[in-house]
Amino acid sequence: MGNTVPSGRLRRREVVPALLADRGGLLVVAGLGAPAWDITAAGDHPRNLPLWGGMGGAAMIGLGLALAQPEQPVLVITGDGEMLMSLGALATIAVARPANLSVVVLDNEHYGETGMQPTHTGSGVDLAGMARAAGIPRVPAVATMEEVAALRGAIHERSGPLFAQVKIDAETLPLVLPPREGALLQARMRESLLGPEAHLA
């Protein structure tokens, strides 16, 4: 791996495909903005829910999905700005304790969609520490591509809940847009899980 960047940090479009490699039944919810473009760049999929809105909701969507589908690994990929908006969700997830839920924050320390204003994580706010303090039992440190590969394995183990904060470079990359029709995005994931019966509920 490895086009290096001056920051020396990991690159989001290397991290995300590594997390989604050999995805099996993995269900993916991506926070709005760059994480949604990243999962789409890795290959759009019926089991992807890229969000176009509802900022602050990604982790809780993952919780509802994980509780409904305990046999499937569920991965929420979101940004530091989105996660900072819903820190209470870390406490709610820790209490609900879904073993199959992983939340991975791609932390570039900036609000990319609005012009790269700094977020609090660049000023010392430690999301992984907050997750640990909330009581999330697995909070692995991830700073290398080897650790990303290990994280991918942990996501499939379903022995969480798991939270990981991955510091990434604040690069701006070409947009790779997923479908924008929310009803389609919802229906295709339900059909993937439930079959055609999904549409007769």
Partner 1 sequence: MDVAPASTDTWPDELFDLLKAYEVRQVAYVPDAGHSRLIRRCQADPGIKAISLTTEEEGIALMLGAWLGGERGVLLMQSSGVGNCINMLSLAILHRTPMPMLVTMRGDFGEFNPAQMPMGNATQAVLEAMGTVVRRADHAADVAPTAEATLRMAFNTFRPTATLIGQRVLGAKTFGKD
CA 107 to chain centre: 11
Among 35, 56, 79, 161, interactor with partner 1 by CB under 8 A = 56
DSSP E strand stretches across the chain: 27-30, 48-50, 74-79, 101-107, 110-111, 117-118, 162-167
Distance CA 140, CA 148 (A): 10
44-47-53 Cα angle (round to 5): 75
Closest to partner 1 by CB, 20 or 66: 66
Select from 133, 183, 184, 193 the least CA-distant residue to 163. 133
Q: How far is CA 128 from the centre of its chain?
A: 14
- Asked whether position 89 contacts partner 1 by CB under 8 A, the answer is yes
Q: Which is nearer to partner 1, 72 or 145 (CB)?
A: 72
Which residue of 17, 86, 99, 113 would you call a contact of partner 1, by CB under 8 A?
86
At its nearest, how many Å lie between partner 1 and the CB of residue 27?
8
Q: Check residue 135 for interaction with partner 1 (CB under 8 A).
A: no
DSSP for residue 88? H
**Residue span 15-34 as binding mask against partner 1, x where in contact by CB under 8 A, dash where not:** ------------x-x-----
Looking at beta carbons only, is 88 or 129 nearer to partner 1?
88
Specify the DSSP class assigned to residue 64: H
Helix, strand or coil, per DSSP, at residue 45: coil
To the nearest whole angstrom, how small is the minimum distance from the Cβ of residue 71 to partner 1? 10
Selected from 54, 122, 129, 135, the binder of partner 1 by CB under 8 A is 54
Residue 165 dihedral angles phi and psi, to the nearest 5°: -110, 115
# chain residues binding partner 1, by CB under 8 A: 38
Q: Which residues pair with 167 in a beta bridge?
A: 107
Please choose, out of 61-69, 140-148, 158-166, 169-177, the segment that lies near partner 1 by the rule CB under 8 A: 61-69
Judged by CB, which is closer to partner 1: 20, or 93? 93
Q: Residues in the site for partner 1, rule: CB under 8 A?
A: 27, 29, 49, 52-69, 86, 88-89, 91-92, 95-96, 182-183, 185-186, 189-190, 193-194, 198, 201
